[in-house]
């Protein structure tokens, strides 16, 4: 099962080209398995904020900068890989990804991110380094622009700010 939500800031309008430095960039936010259960799944670890709450906050912030943001969640490794590969042909400028359980297991998802060569920021709601030993290794961190771990839903907000800063940098 996968869910895609797209927020466009009005392509072609002044607001889409205005914002911070005339941006009309695109950011993809990927959420791995079980993140569709946020808000009810182990709230002592992951908090009570839902995935929809996270997306609404990110959408509002991105829109303020005239940036398009798309959120995609899948419990399927193949669904996430397909979405990463499609992003390579769509002009996505940066990816924010919470690979969830695939953080510790998915060489295939890592390979897809390496293949498209789109910069990405890795996010984890919990502090993976303070959890079980098998959760303390990430197949993604060494490729990531940055890693945010253990700050709950605020980690996504911080990742978005970092992504916006990355987009603003002169190429």
Which residues are designated catalytic? 46, 124
Q: Is 31 annotated as a binding residue?
A: no
Number of residues written out for the chain: 171
Residue 19 DSSP class: T
Q: Which tokens belong to 152?
A: 């709950």
Q: Is the distance from CB of 156 to CB of 12 less than 8 angstroms?
A: no
Q: Is the distance from CB of 138 to CB of 109 less than 8 angstroms?
A: no
Q: Is 98 annotated as a binding residue?
A: yes
Task: Count Cβ atoms below 10 Å from residue 48 Cβ, excluding itself.
Answer: 12
Q: Is 126 annotated as a binding residue?
A: yes
Q: Is 135 annotated as a binding residue?
A: yes
Residue numbers in the known binding site are 98, 104, 111, 125-126, 135
Residue numbers in the known binding site for substrate are 98, 104, 111, 125-126, 135
């Amino acid at each position: 099962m996968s869910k895609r939500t797209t927020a466009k800031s009005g392509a072609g309008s002044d607001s889409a080209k205005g914002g911070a430095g005339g941006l009309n960039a695109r950011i993809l936010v990927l959420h791995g398995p079980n993140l569709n259960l946020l808000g009810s799944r182990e709230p002592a670890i992951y908090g009570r904020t839902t995935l929809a709450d996270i997306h609404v906050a990110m959408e509002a912030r991105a829109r303020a900068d005239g940036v398009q943001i798309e959120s995609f969640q899948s419990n399927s490794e193949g669904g996430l890989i397909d979405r990463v590969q499609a992003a390579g042909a769509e002009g996505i400028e940066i990816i924010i990804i919470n690979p969830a359980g695939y953080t510790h297991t998915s060489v295939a998802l890592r390979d897809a991110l390496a293949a498209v060569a789109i910069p990405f920021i890795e996010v984890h709601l919990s502090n993976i380094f303070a959890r079980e030993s098998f959760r303390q290794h990430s197949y993604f961190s060494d490729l990531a622009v940055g890693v945010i771990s253990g700050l709950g839903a605020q980690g996504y907000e911080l990742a978005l700010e970092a992504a916006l800063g990355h987009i603003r940098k002169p190429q």
